[in-house]
């Protein structure tokens, strides 16, 4: 994929009982996912929430680390957060990628569970795509079913056969990026 953007979705996501909710942004997700996104050279990392107060909060954190006292103190963190931005929804994220890349992105989704109703795409196929893509991760109990079903591609779940495969979103991002772009260590295939 020539320009991959990552979206961390806070709405619409599932709540405990499967209802659609909006989750709160966490500081840890902003920082940790920004580092993974930077390490794998993604084009951008969007923290997506319709709650304006949360976007303002995240922007203030980003400012501190990008331009403020934090940037001087810990430049590596500043570099990681340089490609992070907040957006108010999925449609805005799609349009933002299109504006930057001159072409609408393919939208890919991730889930711990198998998803019916949207085409599957392998890690290898995704990595080989020419063009921009927006890769979405959920918070709460995962992306809302309409987001999963309307996607252009669903990446395979990680550890689908395991008794437990509910990873933190930070771990899921890191594993997914390594499956897409990682160096193979040891084995030559």
Binding site for ligand SAM (CB under 6 A): 110-112, 137-139, 141-143, 157-159, 165-169, 172
Closest CB 137 distance from ligand SAM, rounded Å? 4
| Nearer of residues 142 and 153 to ligand SAM, judged by Cβ | 142
Distances (CA, A) of 86 to 40, 47, 112, 129, 156: 20, 5, 25, 26, 27
Q: In angstroms, give the least distance from the CB of 143 to ligand SAM.
A: 5
In three-state secondary structure terms, 146 is helix
What residue is closest to ligand SAM based on CB?
A: 138
Residue closer to ligand SAM by CB (options 25, 84) is 25
CA gap 93, 8 in Å, rounded: 10
Query: Which tokens hold the place of 39?
Result: 């390490």
SS3 62: helix
Q: How far is the CB of 5 from ligand SAM (least distance, A)?
A: 15
Least distance from C-beta 72 to ligand SAM, angstroms?
A: 31
Strand partners, 109: 136, 154
């Amino acid at each position: 994929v020539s320009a991959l953007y990552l979206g961390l979705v806070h709405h619409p996501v599932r709540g405990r009982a499967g209802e659609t909710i909006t989750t709160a942004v966490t500081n840890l997700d902003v920082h940790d996912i920004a580092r993974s996104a930077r390490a794998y050279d993604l084009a951008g990392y969007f923290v997506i929430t319709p709650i304006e107060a949360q976007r303002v909060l995240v922007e203030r954190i980003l400012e501190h680390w990008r331009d403020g006292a934090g940037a001087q103190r810990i430049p590596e963190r500043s570099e990681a957060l340089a490609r992070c931005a907040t957006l108010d929804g999925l449609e805005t994220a799609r349009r933002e990628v299109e504006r930057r890349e001159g072409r609408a992105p393919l939208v890919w989704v991730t889930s711990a569970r198998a998803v019916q109703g949207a085409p599957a795409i392998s890690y290898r196929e995704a990595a080989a795509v020419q063009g921009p893509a927006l890769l979405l991760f959920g918070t709460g109990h995962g992306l809302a079913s309409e987001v999963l079903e309307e996607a252009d591609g669903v990446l395979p779940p990680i550890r689908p056969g395991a008794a437990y495969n509910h990873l933190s979103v930070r771990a899921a991002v890191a594993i997914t990026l390594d499956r897409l772009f990682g160096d193979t260590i040891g084995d030559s295939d």
